[in-house]
């Protein structure tokens, strides 16, 4: 009993995919879903609603497995839900309403199950803190959680291992935030044009150095595993990385990095879960 009480908590790992690019993401998701099925590893797919208007039948066929795959929203068309330090100004209130309501409805209509969560396009350094009108729309649309804190302070990378919290301070205690962690893998590979100013000073994790774009899946794994190891060392509840199917597949068509990372997570004695599992554990 003493051992059980004093044993450090093993974090959960939450595989999640921001699915947003017509054609390219579907091709990648076929490989990703196969890998998850082979290993029985659950995942959350945050899908842009607009993709489901054109490729919904294919996504449903591929991912309609409620015990394994959670389907959540990546907004309707990836418009920004508030101003972003790198990606630009936020959309209008009318556009934000559509991004939330239409994005959620498309997931629910396509998969015939509730869409609990939202991953906003790009994400933000403070999530939706200080944005009460957007939070009211998110809650009004029926979302139970958001995963919107995806950057370090001042919109830098990596995103630190922040843990779950509610938006009680902003007046929405029922809405959970589950921050994402690490480097946006598309940024790590130079797949999106990014400004030179991306790093924080002083750094959050001074022991971690990334000297340039990664060149191989093994090199990418070397960066990604830092956050797994740190979550274990710190005894955190969970870790989750910011992944995009189109970008994973372009860089690593054999999904080697995912295999290395899933092996590593399992070797740490960590469990796998979806965002909805994290949310349900709080109800
Ligand atoms: Zn996105």
- Greater confidence (8 vs 224) lies with 224
- Centre of ligand 1 from the C-alpha of residue 74, in Å: 7
Q: What are phi and psi of 134, to 5 degrees?
A: -70, -40
Give per-residue pLDDT as tens, 79-126: 999 999 899 999 999 999 999 999 999 999 999 999 999 999 999 999
Largest CA distance in the chain: 56
Give per-residue pLDDT as tens, 69-80: 999 999 999 999
Q: Is the pLDDT of residue 135 over 50?
A: yes
CB 233 within 8 A of CB 268: no
- Centre of ligand 1 from the C-alpha of residue 143, in Å: 18
> Of 6-10, 182-186, 250-254, where does mean pLDDT reach its minimum?
6-10
CA distance 81 to 95: 9
**The pLDDT of residue 112:** 98
Provide the percentage of residues in the chain whose pLDDT is more than 70.
97
- Centre of ligand 1 from the C-alpha of residue 8, in Å: 34
- Centre of ligand 1 from the C-alpha of residue 237, in Å: 24
**Which positions ≥6 away from 164 have C-beta within 8 Å?**
176, 177, 178, 179, 237, 238, 278, 282
| pTM over 0.85, yes/no | yes
- Centre of ligand 1 from the C-alpha of residue 147, in Å: 12
Return the number of other C-beta atoms located less than 10 Å from residue 259's C-beta: 16
Can you give the length of the chain in residues? 283
Give per-residue pLDDT as tens, 48-65: 999 999 999 999 999 999
- Centre of ligand 1 from the C-alpha of residue 29, in Å: 15
- The packing angle between helices 93-111 and 49-63, to 10°, is 20
- Centre of ligand 1 from the C-alpha of residue 263, in Å: 26
- Centre of ligand 1 from the C-alpha of residue 123, in Å: 8
Q: Is the pLDDT of residue 2 over 50?
A: no
Which fold would CATH assign to domain 2-280?
Answer: TIM Barrel (3.20.20)
**The pLDDT of residue 5:** 59
- Centre of ligand 1 from the C-alpha of residue 40, in Å: 25
- Centre of ligand 1 from the C-alpha of residue 99, in Å: 13
- Centre of ligand 1 from the C-alpha of residue 6, in Å: 40
Rounded mean pLDDT of the chain? 96
- Greater confidence (147 vs 4) lies with 147
- Centre of ligand 1 from the C-alpha of residue 75, in Å: 9
**The pLDDT of residue 197:** 85
- Centre of ligand 1 from the C-alpha of residue 72, in Å: 13
CB 89 within 8 A of CB 59: no
- Centre of ligand 1 from the C-alpha of residue 2, in Å: 45
Give per-residue pLDDT as tens, 226-255: 999 999 999 999 999 999 999 999 999 999
- Centre of ligand 1 from the C-alpha of residue 9, in Å: 31
Return the number of other C-beta atoms located less than 10 Å from residue 203's C-beta: 13
- Centre of ligand 1 from the C-alpha of residue 19, in Å: 7
């Amino acid at each position: 009993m003493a051992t059980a009480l004093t044993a450090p908590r093993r974090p959960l790992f939450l595989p999640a995919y921001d699915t947003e690019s017509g054609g390219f993401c579907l091709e990648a998701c076929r490989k990703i879903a196969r890998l998850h099925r082979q290993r029985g590893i659950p995942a959350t797919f945050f899908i842009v609603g607009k993709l489901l208007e054109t490729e919904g039948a294919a996504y449903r066929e591929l991912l309609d497995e409620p015990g394994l795959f959670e389907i959540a929203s990546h907004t309707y068309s990836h418009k920004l839900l508030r101003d972003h330090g790198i990606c630009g100004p936020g959309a209008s209130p009318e556009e934000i309403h559509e991004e939330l309501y239409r994005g959620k409805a498309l997931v629910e209509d396509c998969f015939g199950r509730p869409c609990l969560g939202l991953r906003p396009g790009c994400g933000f350094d403070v999530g939706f803190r200080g944005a009460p009108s957007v939070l009211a729309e998110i809650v009004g649309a029926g979302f139970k959680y958001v995963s919107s804190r995806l950057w370090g302070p001042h919109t830098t990378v990596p995103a630190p291992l922040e843990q779950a919290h509610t938006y009680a301070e902003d007046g929405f205690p029922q809405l959970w935030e589950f921050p994402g962690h690490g480097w946006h893998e598309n940024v790590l590979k130079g797949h999106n044009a990014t400004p030179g100013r991306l790093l924080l000073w002083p750094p959050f994790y001074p022991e971690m150095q990334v000297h340039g774009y990664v060149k191989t899946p093994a090199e990418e794994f070397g960066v990604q595993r830092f956050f797994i190891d740190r979550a274990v060392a710190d005894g955190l509840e969970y870790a989750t990385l910011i992944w995009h199917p189109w970008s994973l597949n372009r860089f690593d068509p054999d999904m080697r990095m995912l295999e290395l990372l899933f092996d590593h997570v399992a070797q740490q004695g960590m469990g796998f879960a979806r965002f909805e599992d994290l949310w349900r554990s709080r109800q």
